[in-house]
Amino acid sequence: MSVNTSVEETVKKIAQRILRKKDIAFAPTTTFKDFGADSLDIVQILVAVEDTFDIELDDEQLRNINDTAGFIAYIESKIAEKNKK
């Protein structure tokens, strides 16, 4: 991952690849279901995010996230947590 690439851009590219959509417009309140993702797509996105950023996402915490803005913020917090170690 390039240093210049934002977490949001990277997640957007992952979602575009898995959902086979050329362009996905992330707005703070959108969800992956808004883009037509089913539960399997969402699992694939989560696994790809974990692999890309070398982080582990917590299922319990993910249940409390309702939109892409919250998801991006959660990933950024997990990356920051990893970088502190």
Tell me, letter by letter, the H, E, C secondary structure of the chain. Answer: CCCCCCHHHHHHHHHHHHHCCCCCCCCCCCCCHHHCCCHHHHHHHHHHHHHHHCCCCCHHHHHCCCCHHHHHHHHHHHHHHHHHC
Q: Which pLDDT score is estimated for 14?
A: 95
- 69, part of any domain: yes
CATH code of the domain covering residue 78:
1.10.1200.10
In this prediction the pTM is: 0.88
To the nearest 10°, report the CA torsion of 15, 18, 21, 27.
-20
- 2, part of any domain: no
Q: Which pLDDT score is estimated for 43?
A: 95
Q: Which pLDDT score is estimated for 1?
A: 43
- 71, part of any domain: yes
The list of the chain residues with pLDDT below 50 reads 1-3
- 65, part of any domain: yes
Could you give the number of structural domains in the chain? 1
Q: Which pLDDT score is estimated for 26?
A: 84
φ and ψ at residue 30, rounded to 5 degrees: -75, 160
Q: Which pLDDT score is estimated for 69?
A: 93
- 1, part of any domain: no
- 33, part of any domain: yes
Q: Which pLDDT score is estimated for 37?
A: 94
Domain that holds residue 59: 7-84
